């Protein structure tokens, strides 16, 4: 990586997030040991990453415990990093310990702060919409957490454009702090939600976006072109559903697209992971792309995506579109 880290505003807010950030899903407290987690966090921070993404549901709270311990011992000033949690999936499945009720939104915030060993969460997401809780109840709970200083910015993840419209109108009507960011999946094979559904909210409301699975859980690295490597995510117990999805019969055209994209990557003198991540960064509605990695060599490679962004000329983008659009959602 030669290009210094770039910082983008989180939508219309004044918060600056590194264009590349780092997340804990699957890996922390699960697929990798704690020393590797520490090496990854320090590699990221040393490269200018200032946003670390987490959730109550990652390894049933263990991912936050591991990250909290690393943050505590890091010596980094609290103002130098942004840390998130997400509420919905819960650590246990007992009644009131999942979802977006006022009770769970508030209790989960305090539990996450305790696990992460921080006084406040910079970003706090509703990890999914909750059909069993009125949006107004969730908005009021989020507003209260922001007003009390426990959360700085609240947002959503995988909410529809219509659900966001309702949240905005509730917040405007009641004078509440509204959502600042949404966390959608966005990559060469999952495009329409951000490009079609969310883009109007980004333009009109200044909604920021923190992108998840920029490499489609590794599919876009080419590592699944010829089966599943033993040491990969798809062999992690509990992720059989993801393995079925990424190795099923429907994935053939996407594997063919990955092979075609590899030709472009080679011509540009880069790698498939860097190409896929740089492509996400080209979208002006993207505030930050959250990287995932199970070893430091992957993370170091992926941070090099910043060098690739200027190589994605309109002509190259058109070739990438021609390959990815026909096989993308």
Tell me the pairing of strands 288-291 and 151-156.
Answer: unpaired
Q: Does 155 bind ligand NDP (CB under 6 A)?
A: no
Q: Does 298 bind ligand NDP (CB under 6 A)?
A: yes
Q: Does 163 bind ligand NDP (CB under 6 A)?
A: no
Could you tell me which stretch among 23-31, 65-73, 108-116, 306-314 binds ligand NDP (CB under 6 A)? 23-31
Q: Does 214 bind ligand NDP (CB under 6 A)?
A: yes
Q: Does 215 bind ligand NDP (CB under 6 A)?
A: yes
Q: Does 232 bind ligand NDP (CB under 6 A)?
A: yes
User: Active site includes 224?
Assistant: no
CB of 157 to ligand NDP, least distance (A): 4
> Which of 288, 292, 263 shows the shortest CA–CA distance to 275?
263
Please, which residues have CB within 8 angstroms of residue 103's CB and are 6 or more apart in sequence? Answer: 96
**Using CA of residue 283, residue 285, residue 291, residue 297, what is the dihedral sign?**
positive
Binding mask 170-199 for ligand NDP (x = CB under 6 A): -------------x----------------
Spatial contact of 53 and 21, defined as CB atoms under 8 Å apart: yes
Marked catalytic residue, from 45, 58, 153, 224:
58
Q: CA angle 272-275-276, nearest 5°?
A: 85
Q: Does 221 bind ligand NDP (CB under 6 A)?
A: yes
For residues 72 and 90, give the distance between their C-alpha atoms in angstroms, rounded to a whole number: 24
> Which of 31, 99, 134 shows the shortest CA–CA distance to 107?
99
User: If binding means CB under 6 A, how many residues of this protein chain bind ligand NDP?
Assistant: 29
Looking only at residues 116 through 145 of this chain, which bind ligand NDP when binding is defined by CB under 6 A?
127
From candidates 10, 25, 121, 279, binder to ligand NDP by CB under 6 A: 25
Looking only at residues 243 through 282 of this chain, which bind ligand NDP when binding is defined by CB under 6 A?
273
Give the tokens for residue 19: 């264009």
Q: What is the CA radius of gyration of the chain?
A: 19
CB of 172 to ligand NDP, least distance (A): 25
Q: Does 288 bind ligand NDP (CB under 6 A)?
A: no
Beta strands per DSSP E along 117-265: 121-126, 151-156, 181-182, 208-211
CB of 84 to ligand NDP, least distance (A): 8
> Which of 30, 25, 104 shows the shortest CA–CA distance to 57?
25
Interface residue list for ligand NDP (CB under 6 A):
23-25, 27, 53, 127, 157-158, 183, 212-218, 221, 223, 232-233, 273, 290-294, 298, 301-302
- Known catalytic residues? 58
């Amino acid at each position: 990586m030669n290009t210094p880290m770039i910082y983008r505003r989180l939508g219309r807010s004044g918060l600056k997030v590194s264009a590349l950030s780092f997340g804990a899903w699957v890996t922390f407290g699960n697929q990798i040991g704690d020393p590797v987690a520490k090496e990854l966090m320090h590699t990221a921070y040393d490269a200018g990453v200032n946003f670390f993404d987490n959730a109550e549901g990652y390894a049933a709270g263990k991912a936050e415990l591991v990250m909290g311990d690393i943050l505590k011992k890091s010596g980094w000033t609290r103002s130098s990093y942004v840390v998130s949690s997400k509420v919905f999936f819960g650590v246990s499945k007992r009644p009131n310990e999942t979802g977006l009720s006022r009770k769970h939104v508030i209790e989960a915030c305090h539990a996450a702060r305790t696990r992460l060993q921080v006084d406040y969460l910079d970003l706090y997401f509703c990890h999914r919409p909750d059909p069993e809780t009125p949006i107004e109840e969730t908005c009021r709970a989020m507003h209260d957490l922001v007003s009390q200083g426990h959360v700085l910015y609240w947002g959503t993840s995988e909410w529809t454009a219509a659900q966001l419209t309702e949240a905005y109108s509730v917040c405007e009507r009641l004078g509440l702090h509204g959502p600042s960011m949404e966390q959608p999946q966005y990559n060469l094979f999952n495009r329409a939600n951000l490009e079609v559904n969310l883009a109007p909210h980004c333009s009109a409301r200044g909604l920021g976006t923190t992108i998840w699975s920029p490499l489609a859980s590794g599919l876009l690295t080419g590592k699944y072109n010829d089966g599943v490597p033993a040491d990969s995510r798809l062999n992690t117990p509990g992720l059989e559903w993801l393995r079925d999805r990424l190795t099923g019969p429907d994935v053939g055209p996407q594997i063919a697209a990955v092979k075609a994209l590899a030709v472009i990557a080679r011509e540009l003198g880069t790698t498939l992971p860097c190409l896929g991540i740089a492509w996400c960064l080209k979208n002006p509605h993207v505030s930050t792309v959250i990287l995932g990695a199970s070893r430091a060599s992957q993370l170091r490679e992926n941070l090099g995506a910043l060098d690739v962004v200027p190589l994605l000329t309109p002509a190259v983008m058109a070739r990438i579109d021609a390959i990815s659009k026909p096989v993308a959602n």
